[in-house]
Amino acid sequence: MDRGKLSEEKFKVLFGQTTVPLAETDPDLQDILNRFIFGEVFYHGELTDKLRELITIVVLTTNQTLDQLQAHVFTSLNIGISPEEIKEAIYQCAPYLGFPKALNAINKANEVFTQLNISLPVESQKRVTEETRFGEGLKVQKEIFGDVIDQMHKNAPENQKHIQNFLSAFCFGDIYTRTALDIKTRELLTLCILSAMGGCESQVKSHVFGNLKVGNEKNTQLEAITQCLPYMGFPRTLNAISCINEVIPESK
């Protein structure tokens, strides 16, 4: 089957329709987009459509391309992703993008939920308390990165120890311990968020290693970055692939 037919089938599965307004005003661009994203990228590798859409959501959140994000929230619900999973993907962005961008995205998602009569708030996925958030976060952080985390805390200058504490308690305690998405999915989404940000190559490399630790092999990471390509462009995609290859060299 050619890319045109493949894209028509995939587009209908995802969006429940085959035409959009851009097809009327800019048919060439829509055709290029459809054939590349939905006739090619979506068929590359072994990722599920569910994981592809979650990746798309975090990259669109990173880019703050909110109209497109809203369309993919509809799409995600259409293919069976729960409101809780969609929200958790956006929550996962907060430590890396900051709260304002996460709030912009969650507001757009909430508009979709309201239109579809999905009750808000959705069920809380919180699993830590004020007393446990640091310890539980540190446990998850060490599961992903190993005992080097102890050294990071120990070696931080006194006037910077609070940053390491915030990282363990907020990023990994408040966010990574939440349910609806497992750690493998969260860590893969984090790789995509950092790759889409640009200029975060050091952190990308750390999370390439982290992904390996939680069971996301090199090909899975490459497939995830490939899914990001249409939404973040070739320069950031190539930078991310370079980071993956540096941490996990190709076997000869």
User: 132 Cβ partners below 8 Å, 6+ apart?
Assistant: 173
Print the domain residue range for 144.
128-177
> How many domains is the chain partitioned into structurally?
1
Q: What is the pLDDT of residue 251?
A: 81
pLDDT one-digit tens code per residue, 111-131: 999 999 999 999 999 999 999
Structure pTM? 0.95
Question: What is the separation of C-alpha 19 from the centre of its chain, rounded to a whole number of angstroms?
Answer: 27
Crossing angle for the helix pair 218-247 and 49-63, nearest 10 degrees? 50
First to last CA, the chain: 33
Q: Tell me, yes or no, whether 198 lies in a domain.
A: no
CA distance 223 to 214: 16
* Residue-level pLDDT at 17: 72
Residue 156 lies in a domain: yes
C-alpha dist (Å) from residue 37 to 41, 52, 86, 180, 229: 5, 11, 21, 27, 9
Q: Which residues contact 114 (CB under 8 A, 6 or more apart)?
A: 120
Is position 158 within any domain?
Answer: yes
The secondary structure element, H or E, covering residue 150 is: helix 148-155
Average model confidence (pLDDT) for the chain? Answer: 96
pLDDT at residue 197 above 80? Answer: yes
135 belongs to a structural domain: yes
- Is the model's pLDDT at 22 over the cut of 90? no
pLDDT at 168: 97
Whether residue 33 is contained in a domain is answered as no
Query: Is 252's pLDDT higher than 60?
Result: no
Answer whether residue 246 is part of any domain.
no
**Is 250 inside a domain boundary?**
no
Q: Which helix (H) or strand (E) holds 243?
A: helix 218-247
User: Which tens digits make up the pLDDT trace of 40-83?
Assistant: 999 999 999 999 999 999 999 999 999 999 999 999 999 999 99
Whether 103 is covered by a domain: the verdict is no
